[in-house]
Amino acid sequence: MLKGKKIILGITGSIAAYKATYLICGLVKKGAEVQVVITPAGKEFITPVTLSALSSHPVISEFFSNRDGSWHSHVDLGLWADAMLIAPATAASIGKMANGIADNMLITTYLSCKAPVFVAPAMDLDMFAHPATQQNIDRLRGFGNHIIEPGEGELASHLVGKGRMEEPDRIIEILEEFFTGSQDLQNKKILITAGPTYEKIDPVRFIGNYSSGKMGFALAEECARRGAEVTLVTGPVSLTVTHPQIRRIQVESAEEMYKAAMAEYPQADAGILCAAVADYRPEQVCTEKIKREKTGEMQLRLIPNRDIAASLGAIKREDQLLVGFALETTDGLTNAASKLEKKNLDYIVLNSLQDLGAGFQVDTNRITIIDRKGEITAYPLKGKKEVAQDIIHKLVTLVS
Ligand code: C5P
């Protein structure tokens, strides 16, 4: 799995730097080649001698190896790697990465790196919770970096909270999953709905909602990465797909989404209905712009849209799966369980608008999965990419 993989291990100035030794040993044991790049502060916590002995490579920390004019090329290093892992990643280094402040070898290597980047933050609980840190982490997520969430526990300050670097064994597992789990949906066809729908009022106005499409797009990327052929039926969003195995069908209204989804589902092995579909649409669409001067007070008569999830649930075959979402403000578990039943879903992903960081527009989500057996799994707050992995992990256990 990790055999022959070239990994850059970036170490920054955290007390958790000692855990990098376990990371190197674990990675080398799995057959990976590890090149350590360390920040000046990192060297205060662990010596390059230890790191080079364990990795069997000289440690890189300075731009210039000596005073004879030779220098380390961060560009070559960035291109050499199959993955870059920054563990531990301090608040300062995360801030520099998020803002492109390339004042040491580790940050320049990060900026040059074409390979996937994994970041394992390690810091005190208040530093981690600070909006500056959280915004920087969100920016890294936005760049497509994988954030390995820190755990909760006793920190170097002896305070207890979230900020403890994920355990080395688990970090190695995450890298392994990235490189191997990739093909467990090969030959599978997955239909995904994403984004909001716009229901026209007149040529310039519509009824919409705050859905950004981020969760649905993350699911599409995750399925494609694992080998599936994905059909992504999306409402209006400002996102692009990157994977060649994702076929995008652009729609605007709930009715258009319904038609596309009904046409595509019979060919699919599974459907994941992530879109925030408008429940109602104006009964009449004005062909001309409605004028305030003419209309004065106005009433908009709305009629219900068709429920795509329930309609697909009704035509679902034995060999197909169907996954839905529930965004609830109250009684989340009860409402989600009843939707699971009503729409004939195999499992439902509940997110509550009461949870900070969950729901529309944000890059994070906190979900609970409820399946047909009544099994309930609650997950911590994670980036949408990681949440997509959890949702698809569940799909993989059910897909035949
Ligand atoms: O009933 P509710 O809208 O809360 O259900 C949410 C789930 O149903 C989501 O998976 C959503 O994508 C799907 N849905 C749909 N068509 C609708 C309304 C909701 O597919 N018209």
Which atom of ligand 1 sits closest to the CA of residue 325?
10
The band of 359, judged by pLDDT with boundaries at 50, 70 and 90, is low
- Going by alpha carbons, the residue nearest to atom 5 of ligand 1 is 326
pLDDT per residue over 12-56, tens digit each? Answer: 999 999 999 999 999 999 999 999 999 999 999 999 999 999 999
- In this prediction, residue 357 carries a pLDDT of 65
Which atom of ligand 1 sits closest to the CA of residue 278?
21
Which atom of ligand 1 sits closest to the CA of residue 254?
21
Closest CA to 246 of 265, 219, 272, 278: 219
pLDDT per residue over 81-140, tens digit each? Answer: 999 999 999 999 999 999 999 999 999 999 999 899 999 999 999 999 999 999 999 899
**90 touches 63 (CB < 8 A):** no
- Going by alpha carbons, the residue nearest to atom 9 of ligand 1 is 325
Flag whether pLDDT at 67 surpasses 70.
Answer: no
The band of 174, judged by pLDDT with boundaries at 50, 70 and 90, is confident
Cα of 41 vs centre of ligand 1, distance in Å, is 50
Cα of 13 vs centre of ligand 1, distance in Å, is 47
Mean pLDDT score of the chain: 91
Cα of 229 vs centre of ligand 1, distance in Å, is 23
- Those residues whose C-beta lies under 8 Å from the C-beta of residue 362, and which sit 6 or more positions away, are 138
Tell me the best of 191, 233, 255, 277 to mutate to test the pocket of ligand 1, counting ligand atoms within 8 Å of each CB and taking the most: 277
Task: Please give the share of the chain, as a percent, with pLDDT higher than 70.
Answer: 94
- In this prediction, residue 355 carries a pLDDT of 67
User: Containing H/E element for 35?
Assistant: strand 33-38
pLDDT per residue over 232-258, tens digit each? Answer: 999 999 998 877 688 999 999 999 999
Cα of 164 vs centre of ligand 1, distance in Å, is 38
In angstroms, the Cα distances linking 46 to 20, 36, 40, 287 are 9, 12, 11, 70
**322 touches 190 (CB < 8 A):** no
pTM of whole model > 0.75? no
Tell me the best of 232, 308, 323, 330 to mutate to test the pocket of ligand 1, counting ligand atoms within 8 Å of each CB and taking the most: 308
| Whole-number Å distance between alpha carbons of 240 and 221 | 11
Pinpoint the alpha helices (H) of the chain.
20-29, 48-55, 74-80, 91-99, 105-112, 125-129, 131-142, 168-180, 214-225, 254-264, 292-295, 308-315, 332-342, 384-398
| Whole-number Å distance between alpha carbons of 387 and 393 | 10
Flag whether pLDDT at 328 surpasses 80.
Answer: yes
- Concatenating the DSSP letter of every residue in 192-225 gives EEESB--EEEETTEEE-----SHHHHHHHHHHHH
Catalytic one of 145, 187, 209, 365: 209
- In this prediction, residue 1 carries a pLDDT of 82
- Going by alpha carbons, the residue nearest to atom 8 of ligand 1 is 309
Which atom of ligand 1 sits closest to the CA of residue 274?
12
209 is catalytic: yes
Tell me which residues have their CB closer than 6 angstroms to ligand 1.
193, 254, 273-275, 277, 305, 307-309, 324-326, 339
pLDDT per residue over 254-288, tens digit each? Answer: 999 999 999 999 999 999 999 999 999 999 999 99
- In this prediction, residue 181 carries a pLDDT of 61
Cα of 6 vs centre of ligand 1, distance in Å, is 43
88 HSE (CA, 13 A, CB side): 27
Cα of 273 vs centre of ligand 1, distance in Å, is 7
- Going by alpha carbons, the residue nearest to atom 1 of ligand 1 is 339
